[in-house]
Amino acid sequence: MAKQIEGVYEAVLACAKKEFLEKGYTDASLRTIAQEAGTSTSSIYTRFKDKEGLFESIVGPAAAQMKEMDRRAIEEMGVPSLELMEHAAQEVQEAEMGQYTSRHQMELLDFIYEHFEEFYLLINGAGGSRFASFLDELVQIEVDYTYKYMEVIGCETVKSGLVTEEFLHIIVTAYFNGMFEVVRHRMPKADAVKYIRLLNRYHMQGFSTVFYPEESPEIGP
């Protein structure tokens, strides 16, 4: 096996990130990346298998960690054991849901800004790669949790069939699209924090109409 030259791996990653940020996944050139990194395309194939493998090396860790953060937050809300909770405990859980959700979203925002370029690529430059579905996968985690939560607490809108998983998918997709607008527009973090806090308040107020339709006469069967 040929000995790999020290520093080439890091140089390829740095040049690849620059190329992907400028051109997106589909139009990025492995030949350009190799030339900028001072190596050959064959060495890229040796280290990363193909262009998607190289892209994954850049965005994969951040994408996986964000999904894991979302799953962990859901578990901390007690989803696996909701069915075993006393009614009073469920009422406390429900009352605290908005506050917890807001705190969790701000933690996600901090993580996004710690890995801003990776998330910019995931949102703006992943077309043509398997990471093009990143946002949909994130949405599905939230939909699965929220629907299960509403079933467990006996939400009337779910029992009646007014609220379905498909409808929740629309709501959650709208929220995450709004959240990632701060990335699409490269918004300074201070502005992003302000807007995401407003978005959380807007989202939770709107979501209350899904939980409590009797307080919102405009919602009907």
Is residue 52 helix, strand or coil? helix
Is residue 219 helix, strand or coil? coil
pLDDT at residue number 48: 95
pLDDT tens, position by position, for the chain (221 residues)? 344 566 899 999 999 999 999 999 999 999 999 999 999 999 999 999 999 999 999 999 999 999 999 888 776 655 544 344 334 344 445 545 555 566 778 899 999 999 999 999 999 999 999 999 999 999 999 898 888 888 877 888 898 898 999 999 999 999 999 999 999 999 999 999 999 999 988 888 887 777 776 655 454 44
Cα–Cα distance, 142 to 70 (Å, whole number): 8
pLDDT at residue number 214: 60
Six-digit token pair at 78? 């007690």
pLDDT at residue number 62: 97
Q: Which amino acid is at 121?
A: L
Residue 186: CB partners within 8 Å, gap ≥ 6? 120
pLDDT at residue number 83: 42
Cα–Cα distance, 137 to 139 (Å, whole number): 5
Residue 25: CB partners within 8 Å, gap ≥ 6? 51, 52, 55, 121, 125, 126, 127, 128, 129, 131
End-to-end CA distance of the chain: 67
To which residue do tokens 């990632």 refer?
Answer: 180
pLDDT at residue number 218: 53
pLDDT at residue number 209: 78
String of b and e for 108-127 (b: at least 16 CB within 10 Å)? bbeebbebbbbbbbbbebbe
User: DSSP states of 39-92 as a string?
Assistant: S-HHHHHHHHSSHHHHHHHHHHHHHHHHHHHHHHHHHHTTGGGGGGS-HHHHHH
> What single-letter DSSP state applies at residue 215?
G
Closest CA to 101 of 74, 140, 134: 74
pLDDT at residue number 99: 53
Query: Is the CA virtual torsion 146, 141, 104, 76 positive or negative?
Result: positive
Query: Is the CA virtual torsion 210, 213, 219, 221 positive or negative?
Result: positive
